[in-house]
Every structure is written in structure tokens, then in C-alpha cells.
């Protein structure tokens, strides 16, 4: 595999980001969304991240976006202002090649540079690759909620992990 380029996302990346996300929605439990999102929704999401100074990164191979990551506000209440939540999605054809770690590292650095204190990851309990990724990057499991999601006709558990920045 060529070496991926990790860079800040630009608005023109939103269609590719959306395609990767929607593929995960339709085929995995990485997201508990049940229906694909629209480009308009993803553009609003991106613009909100820019307005809040929250980073979005993409991984490209030969100019094609093959994965993305972001930090989002954990909660709207002011007391949570130093806590964020991460998201990482990789195109199905490129999973298992180390792109998740390459996309998580700049999120950790960005959180530190933004003066954030804690990064939260909410991961489907059956997503072993994401759990291993987060644990290898210094996250620790801090909670497990049983049967809080329902997708593909089954109940799903969520594991919460956190990393102090």
C-alpha cells in the first residue's frame, strides 16, 4: 500500500466522507444510524465543526479519500467544554491497514492543542478492531452499556473508552 497522506479535511471532501460513513451505516454497527445521511447534512456537520474549531482529518491514497476522523463536542452543557468525542471511519476496502491509528494520532494532538482534557470514544462492543485501536493509543475502558442500541435485528452493547489528553 502506498503511504497515505493525512491532512485536514476541506469542504470538498464531504462527499467522500459521506460515502464512507454511509457505507458503514448500511453494513456495520460502527454507527447506530439506520439510514444513510444526505450530503446537505454532512455539509452542515462539516461547517459546524469549522465554526467550533473542531478538527476533521482525511486519509488519502493517490488523491482519493479512504478514511476520515473528527473530534466533536461531547455534550452541549458548558461544564463538558473540555471533553470531546472522536469518530474514525475507514472505507471498507482499506480497513485493517493501520489507517485508523494514522487518523487517531492527529486527533489526540489536536485535542491537546485545543486545551481539551478528555477524549471519549463510544464503540460498539463487537467492533474488536476499533476497541484494539483505542486501547493501543492509550484509551482505557471506562464503561459498558448493555443493549442500548438496536440494529440489524439485534441488541447492541456500547463500550465507552477515554483518554486524558
Query: Quick one: pLDDT at residue 1?
Result: 56
Compute φ and ψ for 32, nearest 5 degrees: -95, 5
- Mean pLDDT, the chain, whole residue set: 97
C-alpha to C-alpha distances, 107 to 23, 38, 165, nearest whole angstrom:
23, 25, 10
Query: Quick one: pLDDT at residue 111?
Result: 98
> What is the CATH architecture of 5-164?
3-Layer(aba) Sandwich (3.40)
Kindly report, residue by residue over 42-97, the tens digit of the pLDDT: 999 999 999 999 999 999 999 999 999 999 999 999 999 999 999 999 999 999 99
Q: What angle do CA 130, 87, 97 make, to 5 degrees?
A: 45
Kindly report, residue by residue over 7-26, the tens digit of the pLDDT: 999 999 999 999 999 999 99
What is the domain partition of the chain in residue ranges? 5-164
Amino acid at each position: 500500500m502506498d503511504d497515505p497522506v493525512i491532512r485536514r479535511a476541506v469542504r470538498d471532501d464531504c462527499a467522500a466522507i459521506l460515502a464512507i460513513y454511509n457505507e458503514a451505516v448500511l453494513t456495520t454497527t460502527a454507527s447506530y444510524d439506520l439510514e444513510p445521511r444526505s450530503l446537505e447534512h454532512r455539509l452542515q456537520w462539516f461547517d459546524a465543526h469549522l465554526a467550533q474549531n473542531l478538527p476533521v482529518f482525511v486519509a488519502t491514497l493517490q488523491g482519493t479519500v479512504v478514511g476520515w476522523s473528527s473530534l466533536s463536542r461531547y455534550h452541549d452543557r458548558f461544564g463538558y467544554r473540555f471533553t470531546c468525542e472522536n469518530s474514525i471511519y475507514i472505507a471498507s476496502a482499506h480497513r485493517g491497514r493501520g489507517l485508523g491509528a494514522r487518523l487517531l494520532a492527529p486527533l489526540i494532538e489536536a485535542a491537546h492543542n485545543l486545551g481539551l482534557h478528555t477524549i471519549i470514544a463510544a464503540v460498539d462492543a463487537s467492533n474488536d478492531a476499533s476497541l484494539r485501536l483505542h486501547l493501543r493509543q492509550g484509551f482505557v475502558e471506562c464503561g459498558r452499556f448493555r443493549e442500548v442500541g438496536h440494529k440489524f435485528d439485534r441488541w447492541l452493547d456500547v463500550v465507552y473508552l477515554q483518554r486524558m489528553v
